[in-house]
Amino acid sequence: MSDSEYHQRTDAVLAGIEATIDGWLQDDVIDIDIHRTGGLLELSLPDGSKIIINTQPPLHELWLAARSGGHHYRYSDGRWLDTRDDSEFFASLSAFASEQAGQALHFSAR
């Protein structure tokens, strides 16, 4: 993948996460504060915990840090997969956010 493709894909991921959370805020599903600085997206959940998603351009990876630990994802066959166990990024993000929020939350690729 070229650098421009990487940036296009990661920008779409971050924008999709922001749009999902904006929809939840509008529908009064959950109050998650989001703060984005360039390629870093910080989600602050109601219990005070955080989830951090960070782009890593030199490695062409997405990094996700949650209460359960840190995970690195690389794009392969149309999906972002964990470099250790091949779990899919959006499934993992959904599981981590649900656990930290205390309610079922679902993120997906747009």
Q: How many domains does the chain have?
A: 1
Distance CA 23, CA 14 (A): 14
What order of strands is seen across the sheet that includes strand 50-56? Answer: 33-37, 40-44, 50-56, 61-66, 69-76, 79-82
Tens of pLDDT, residues 71-90: 999 999 999 999 999 999 99
Helix (H, G, I), strand (E, B) or coil at 42: strand
Domain range for 19 is: 3-101
| Predicted TM-score (pTM) of this structure | 0.93
Tokens of 35: 């703060």
Q: What CATH number has the domain bearing residue 74? A: 3.30.920.10
Tens of pLDDT, residues 39-54: 999 999 999 999 999 9
Tokens of 98: 């649900």
Q: What confidence category does residue 109 fall into, taking pLDDT thresholds of 50, 70 and 90?
A: confident
Helix (H, G, I), strand (E, B) or coil at 30: coil
Evaluate whether residue 52 is within a structural domain.
yes
